[in-house]
Amino acid sequence: MYGFLVLMIPMVISIICNHRLIADHVERGSMAYLLSSPNSRLKIAVTQVLFSLFSMAAFFTTVTIAGLAIANVILPGGLDAVGFISVNLYALVMYFAVGGIGFFVSCLSDSKVSLGLGIGIPLGFLILQMIGSIGDKFSWVGNLSLFTLFDPNKLARGSGSICLETAIFLVIAAVTYIGAMIVFNKRDFHV
C-alpha cells in the first residue's frame, strides 16, 4: 500500500486541489471577484494555502481512522497503531511538500501551464523513483526523485530516524508555499 497507492491517490487529489485554488479561478474569471473584495491578496493566498494543507490533512486523517477501524475489525490487536499513525504522518508531511510545489506553479503561471507542471512534476518524481527501483544499474535515477525520501520501511523496521527526510519535506513545503504567496501577491492578473 505504501509503495504505490500512497503515492498515486494523494498525488491526484493534490494536483486537482492545488490547481483549482488559484489557476482555475484565474481562468474562469472568478479571481477578479476575489481580488475586488475587501480582502488583501495576502489574505486570499493564506486562505488558499490553509485549504491546501487542510485538504491533505483531512485525506490522511480519514485514511488513518479507516485503516485503524478496519484493522481492529479484521485483526483485533494485530496492527501496530503507533507505527501506522507514524507512517501516515510521514506521508502527510511528504504531501505537504508535493502540495507546495503544485500550489507554487498554480500561482506562477496560467491554467494550462499550471496544470501541466502540476501533473508533470509529481508524475516525473514518481517515474524517476520507479526507474530507480528497477535495479542497481538505474538506482542513481531514483535519487533524483522527491519520493525517494519517503521510506516507510525504514520507519517500520525502526532501523533509523526519518528526521532528516521529514525536515527536508517541511523545508520544501515552507519554501514553496511562502514563495507561492509572494508570487501571488506580486503577480499581475489579467482578469
The answer to the question of residue 67 being in a domain is yes
Neighbours of 53 (CB within 10 A): 18
The answer to the question of residue 191 being in a domain is no
Percent of the chain with pLDDT over 70: 94
Q: What pLDDT was estimated at residue 173?
A: 97
Q: What pLDDT was estimated at residue 136?
A: 84
Strands (DSSP E) contained in the chain are none
The answer to the question of residue 31 being in a domain is yes
- pLDDT > 70? residue 22: yes
Neighbours of 26 (CB within 10 A): 22
- Domain hosting 74: range is 5-186
- How far apart, in whole angstroms, are the C-alpha atoms of residue 86 and residue 91? 9
- pLDDT > 80? residue 91: yes
- pLDDT > 70? residue 1: no
